């Protein structure tokens, strides 16, 4: 029996178009597939109007974040899917520090390294440990208590108004130095170097701090005061300047202070004399003070 002729589509010629349309529920004529056909038709029209390939349009639509599997719009995120809160400011890493911060940290590192290298008398087992007793004797020469006691003794023994005036201002300078150094040490609270031995001569509560060096401020203050109010020969004047410099250097060699403590101490002592010279006490501007002292 001859086989029935088939159409180009592979269906028998006797099968009608209606039966084929009813047997395929996903065909465009079926009611369930009308939405898909309209979507494809609208996308085709929009692609022709804009000049975009419909295949590319479908690929872009499928690759969008909304249509990807596991993705969701940010506005539709629930409470359980909320983004984590930002880190506090102290927990964030500063990836772009300022130039001033880098410079200060570099100077601090150089200061600590140089102070440790120069601390050759910090202990008996150091490279210059045998010179340590001499350095400690030099330390006593710049202490505040000997200078205060010596100034008070000379003031009591003085019998001239000019001498009393100079000694009164010297006492004022020493008291100002003690006050300013103690105030700055209490505010800064910089610890002494780790290689220091706390065997200093007559220390107070603020002497556990390092910045600034009280011996350096006193050395600069006293050397400038002596050079301006005592008539000395040139060798003696050179000796006074050399004493101030060696005293400041000994503070680093003994491990008492860092280099910046001594440098700032020299600057502070130099400025303290300027304050004393500006506020110079005399029988004209402070007569009560001189009268009280003369009655004693």
Q: Is 257 a catalytic residue?
A: yes
Spatial separation of the C-alpha atoms in residues 2 and 30, rounded to whole Å = 34
Give the relative orientation of helices 234-253 and 214-229 as an angle to the nearest 10 degrees. Answer: 180
Catalytic residue among 143, 195, 229, 257: 257
Catalytic residue among 30, 143, 195, 215: 215
Place of tokens 């300027």: 274
Hey, is 293 helix, strand or coil?
helix
Q: Is 215 a catalytic residue?
A: yes
C-alpha closest to that of 255 among 136, 152, 153: 136
Non-local CB neighbours of 292 within 8 Å, separated by 6+ positions:
none
**For residue 115, what are the CA distances in angstroms to 59, 142, 260, 266?**
70, 20, 9, 16
Spatial separation of the C-alpha atoms in residues 210 and 257, rounded to whole Å = 6
Spatial separation of the C-alpha atoms in residues 213 and 260, rounded to whole Å = 9
Residue 281 and residue 172 in contact, taking contact as beta carbons nearer than 8 Å: yes
Place of tokens 């419909």: 54
Non-local CB neighbours of 29 within 8 Å, separated by 6+ positions:
21
Question: Which parts of the chain fold into alpha helices (H)?
Answer: 17-23, 34-50, 54-63, 99-118, 132-141, 144-157, 161-188, 214-229, 234-253, 259-278, 287-295
Which residues are catalytically annotated?
A: 215, 257
């Amino acid at each position: 029996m001859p086989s029935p002729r088939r159409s180009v589509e592979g269906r028998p010629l006797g099968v009608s178009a209606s039966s084929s349309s009813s047997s395929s529920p996903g065909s465009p004529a079926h009611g369930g597939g009308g939405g898909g056909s309209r979507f494809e038709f609208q996308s085709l029209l929009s692609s022709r109007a804009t000049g975009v390939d419909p295949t590319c349009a479908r690929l872009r639509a499928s690759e969008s974040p909304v249509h990807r599997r596991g993705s969701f719009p940010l506005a539709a995120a629930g409470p359980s899917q909320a983004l984590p809160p930002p880190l506090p400011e102290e927990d964030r890493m500063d990836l772009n520090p300022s130039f001033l911060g880098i410079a200060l940290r570099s100077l601090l590192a150089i200061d600590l390294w140089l102070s440790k290298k120069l601390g050759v008398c910090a202990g008996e087992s150091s490279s210059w440990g045998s010179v340590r007793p001499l350095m400690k004797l030099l330390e006593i020469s710049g202490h505040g208590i000997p200078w205060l006691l010596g100034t008070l003794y000379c003031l009591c023994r003085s019998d001239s108004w000019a001498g009393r005036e100079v000694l009164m201002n010297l006492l004022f300078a020493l008291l100002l130095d003690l006050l300013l150094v103690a105030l700055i040490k209490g505010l800064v609270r910089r610890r002494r170097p780790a290689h220091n031995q706390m065997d200093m001569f007559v220390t107070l509560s603020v002497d556990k701090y390092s910045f600034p060096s009280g011996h350096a401020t006193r050395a600069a203050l006293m050397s400038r005061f002596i050079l301006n109010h005592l008539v000395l020969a040139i060798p003696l004047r050179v000796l006074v300047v050399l004493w101030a410099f060696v005293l400041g250097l000994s503070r680093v060699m003994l491990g008492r202070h860092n280099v910046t403590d001594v440098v700032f101490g020299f600057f502070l002592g130099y400025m303290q004399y300027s304050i004393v010279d500006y506020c110079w006490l005399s029988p004209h501007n402070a007569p009560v003070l001189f009268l009280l002292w003369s009655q004693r």
